[in-house]
Structure 1
Amino acid sequence: MAEKTTIIVQSGDMDKLYSALIVSNGSLAMGMEVSLYFTFWGLLRLQKGGLNKGPLSKMNFGGLGKKMMLGRMKKNNVASLERLMSDFKELGGKVIACEMTMDIMGLTRADLQEEYIDEYGAVGTYVQEARNSAITLFI
């Protein structure tokens, strides 16, 4: 089995996207390959300007909870989602955008931040990545 991590990023919630990117960057730092398969609401975070648009998964309180969380993160020098994604790409991480979700949600490649995306694929693309992975997660 390859030293590889594959994560389905299904949620567009801010805290879950943080989790996916933190685990991914940690895996890359430990010398593993990493693939992120963005689908459904996770894929919406790859829209132009969409990385920071997701709510918190719990206690969002109409955006007040998210604002409080972002303030605490800044105070504790937690990297932004943009920084984590930039680091992920610089470390050699791979992003796959789900074509079926694009069709369902009416998105085109022009709607997405193509500088983040390495490949467009369907479930078979994910399965091929996962079958060769030591770690697979669904976030």
Structure 2
Amino acid sequence: MATETKNNATMIVFDGDLDKAIASFIIATGAAAMGKQVTMFFTFWGLNVLRKEEHIDIKDKNFLEKMFAKMMPRGPKKLKLSKMNYGGVGSHLMKKMMKEHNVSTLPELIEMAQDLDVKMVACTMTMDVMGLKEEELMDGIEFAGVASYLSEAEDANVNLFI
């Protein structure tokens, strides 16, 4: 009886902090470069990583959905550090240090992940809870529920929660 070798990787991106998002995409692109099929499942605050920067018309949203839309960061360039943010100065300094050390920016890492066919999935239940619409998120991502993630995780030998 042959044993099936699982060689995929999945991760739940729950957090929308800049440093954690960068780490998620570094791991995802590294795994994809090693030949793994990678699925990133974005839920709750992690969805902010996928938000488009441009303003979306929010007149059809209820009060709480409008508040979420206004308060949450709009895309990877607007994310804050999890520690030592200091009103945005920390994020600016981190980006400066990354540039000095030739580390790819978060938008570059996202593009690299797309080029490496990393599957990025937005959690539809969380989108409903937060009042996010598909058109508010970047192009090239998929939309699914937790059952889809769990199916992918069953075929992976690496499963992370970030």
Q: Do these two structures clear the TM 0.5 threshold for a shared fold by scoring above it?
A: yes
Q: Are residues 1:18 and 2:18 paired? A: no
Which residue of 2 is the match for residue 47 of structure 1? 51
Moved more, 106-115 or 5-14: 106-115
Q: Are residues 1:29 and 2:33 paired? A: yes
Q: Where does 1:101-116 land on structure 2 (aligned, <5 Å)? A: 101-115=126-140
Runs of 4+ in 1 over 4 A off after TM superposition: none
**Structure-2 separation of matches of 1:104 and 1:13:** 20
Which residue of 1 is the match for residue 94 of structure 2? 69
1:2 offset after TM fit, Å? Answer: 2.0
The aligned amino acid for 1:45 is: V
Question: Unaligned stretches of 5+ in structure 2?
Answer: 54-74
Q: Given the two structures, how large is their TM-score scaled by the length of structure 1?
A: 0.95
> Rg larger in 1 or in 2?
2
Q: Are residues 1:7 and 2:11 paired? A: yes
The aligned amino acid for 2:149 is: Y
**Structure-2 separation of matches of 1:96 and 1:2:** 20
1:114 match: secondary structure: coil
**Structure-1 separation of matches of 2:114 and 2:8:** 15
**Structure-2 separation of matches of 1:84 and 1:133:** 22
Match of 1:59 among 61, 66, 84: 84
1:33 offset after TM fit, Å? Answer: 0.6
**Structure-1 separation of matches of 2:18 and 2:109:** 12
Q: Given the two structures, how large is their TM-score scaled by the length of structure 2?
A: 0.82
**Structure-2 separation of matches of 1:136 and 1:101:** 20
Question: Unaligned stretches of 5+ in structure 1?
Answer: none
1:92 offset after TM fit, Å? Answer: 1.3
**Structure-1 separation of matches of 2:110 and 2:94:** 19
Which residue of 1 is the match for residue 155 of structure 2? 132
Q: CA RMSD in A?
A: 0.9
Q: Deviations over 1:45-72 (max 9, x none)?
A: 1110211211101111111111111111
**Structure-1 separation of matches of 2:89 and 2:123:** 31
Match of 2:144 among 115, 121, 138: 121
